[in-house]
Amino acid sequence: MDFADRLYELSKKAATRVVKIRTEEATKSGLVMPFINALGYNVFDPTEVIPEFTADIGERKGEKVDYAILKDEKPIMLFECKQCGTTLNAKCATQLQRYFHGVPEVKFGILTDGIRHLFFSDLDRPNVMDSKPFFEVDLLHLEDAAIDQLKRFTKATFDTKDILGTAGELKYTREIQTLLRSEFSSPTKDFVRLLTSRVYDGMFTKNAHERFTPIVQNAFWRFVNERINETLETAKTLQGTATREGQSVSDAKQATTPERASDGIITTAEELQGYYIVKGALSGAIDLGRVVMRDRRSHCAILLDNTNRKPICRLYFNNTERKRIGLFDKGRKDEDTVQITKLDEIFNYADRLRATIERYESPKSSVPEAMHNTAADLCSDE
């Protein structure tokens, strides 16, 4: 079993364990230790992994970080663990920051709740842990790019210089992506001013700001949609080429479709495009890896966290002359279907799609109690 397979296997186990974990110790044994083991380190070998590693800081003695990973008998990574479901905020990171400073030879600190793993270094100032992580891995929403980066931290390939060589780029790319998602969702005045100044010769007054904000947002959405269309056209071309070269039509469709259901259900290009438009409309509101499509005979369901209990919308595209989209902003059992003539019109319902997400993410929604413990309770020093 290669590294990626080990992670995907751990991801499946984590999805079943997460609702049963109620304590920090259970988080360590059920999620964190298997994660460290997946990286190739033997959690039961004290020459590779030391639990409760001493990280004394000045006059503060007895400071202990949850796990230290060793290479050649020297610590190379520190793991600070919080109970599963904890909001990994600045207060949690402060505790790890102290330990990081107390072990100057270590260049990487990992803050985790067993599911999310935030990787920190000292890119800004030597021996002072950065306030923001340069890399993050979410076990429940694994992506190939994240797995490739995480592979650098495995026992077989770990090299401090190699990782630091890419950490800076990862950190700033991550932060810029976060800014772009935010601007895509709700353009700031500075962003609107920046773009407007390139196309508008007048003064950027309050009225100009109000006028151009929706124009900028609409242009942003259309740009993303055009890129999606280009990708789909490229996929169609590759599909035709593959078919001509002997690949079966079904195999070609499988290569360009996110999900092909059984019983002859085939996801069409329009359904695929609608799926990506919905993801574009939700950009900045949710981790898009959580948005999943399931095709059915009567409709195409777009779900949060791949569960029927959290429908985001439904695409009714089987009737090519009368396309409809089903919305759930009023409740899971209260579907409101509206007719659309063009796929671009899905963007008109972005606010309602986002409202659905906000309702599912609300603390009042039916999520296991353990997932809603406050940071104040779970991030305090031990």
Task: Tell me the average pLDDT of the chain.
Answer: 83
Task: Average the pLDDT over each of 14-23, 163-172, 238-247, 248-257 and give the range with the smallest value.
Answer: 248-257
Of 193, 215, 191, the C-alpha closest to 202 is: 193
User: Is pLDDT at 336 greater than 70 in this prediction?
Assistant: yes
Q: Ranked by mean pLDDT, which of 42-46, 86-90, 289-293 comes out on top?
A: 42-46
pLDDT of residue 287: 84
pLDDT of residue 61: 66
311 phi and psi, to 5 degrees?
A: -70, 130
Residues paired with residue 81 on neighbouring β-strands, in sequence order: 112
pLDDT of residue 249: 39
Task: Average the pLDDT over each of 129-133, 192-196, 343-347 and give the range with the smallest value.
Answer: 343-347
Residues paired with residue 114 on neighbouring β-strands, in sequence order: none
Number of continuous H segments (helices) and E segments (strands) in the chain:
12, 11
pTM (predicted TM-score)? 0.61
265 vs 152, residue with greater confidence: 152
pLDDT digits (tens, 9 = 90+) for 126-158: 889 999 999 999 998 888 888 989 999 999 999
pLDDT of residue 120: 95
Q: Give the separation between CA 23 and CA 21, rounded to whole angstroms.
A: 6
User: Is pLDDT at 231 greater than 70 in this prediction?
Assistant: no
User: Which residue is it, tokens 């202990």?
Assistant: 64
pLDDT digits (tens, 9 = 90+) for 36-55: 999 999 999 999 999 999 87
Average pLDDT in the 237-244 region?
Answer: 52
User: Which residue is it, tokens 């791949």?
Assistant: 306
The answer to whether the CB of 220 falls within 8 A of the CB of 184 is: yes
- Residue 258 pLDDT grade (very low, low, confident, very high; cuts 50, 70, 90): very low
Strands, E, within the chain: which ranges? Answer: 49-54, 64-71, 74-81, 108-112, 116-120, 135-138, 291-295, 300-304, 311-316, 323-327, 336-340
User: Is pLDDT at 263 greater than 60 in this prediction?
Assistant: no
User: Is pLDDT at 246 greater than 70 in this prediction?
Assistant: no
Task: Average the pLDDT over each of 44-48, 82-86, 174-178, 225-229 and give the range with the smallest value.
Answer: 225-229
User: Is pLDDT at 324 greater than 90 in this prediction?
Assistant: yes
pLDDT of residue 284: 75
User: Is pLDDT at 253 greater than 60 in this prediction?
Assistant: no
Residues paired with residue 118 on neighbouring β-strands, in sequence order: 111, 136
pLDDT of residue 174: 81
User: Is pLDDT at 377 greater than 70 in this prediction?
Assistant: no
116 vs 270, residue with greater confidence: 116
pLDDT of residue 38: 95
Average pLDDT in the 278-300 region?
Answer: 86
User: Is pLDDT at 29 greater than 90 in this prediction?
Assistant: yes
Contacts 24+ apart (CB under 8 A), 176-185: 181/283, 181/284, 182/284, 183/220, 183/284, 184/217, 184/220, 184/221, 184/224, 184/283, 184/284, 185/283, 185/284, 185/285, 185/354
Task: Average the pLDDT over each of 27-41, 332-346, 355-369 and give the range with the smallest value.
Answer: 355-369
Of 182, 63, 163, the C-alpha closest to 122 is: 163
pLDDT of residue 251: 42
- Residue 220 pLDDT grade (very low, low, confident, very high; cuts 50, 70, 90): confident
Average pLDDT in the 323-340 region?
Answer: 91
Residues paired with residue 324 on neighbouring β-strands, in sequence order: 316, 339
pLDDT of residue 24: 94
pLDDT of residue 60: 60
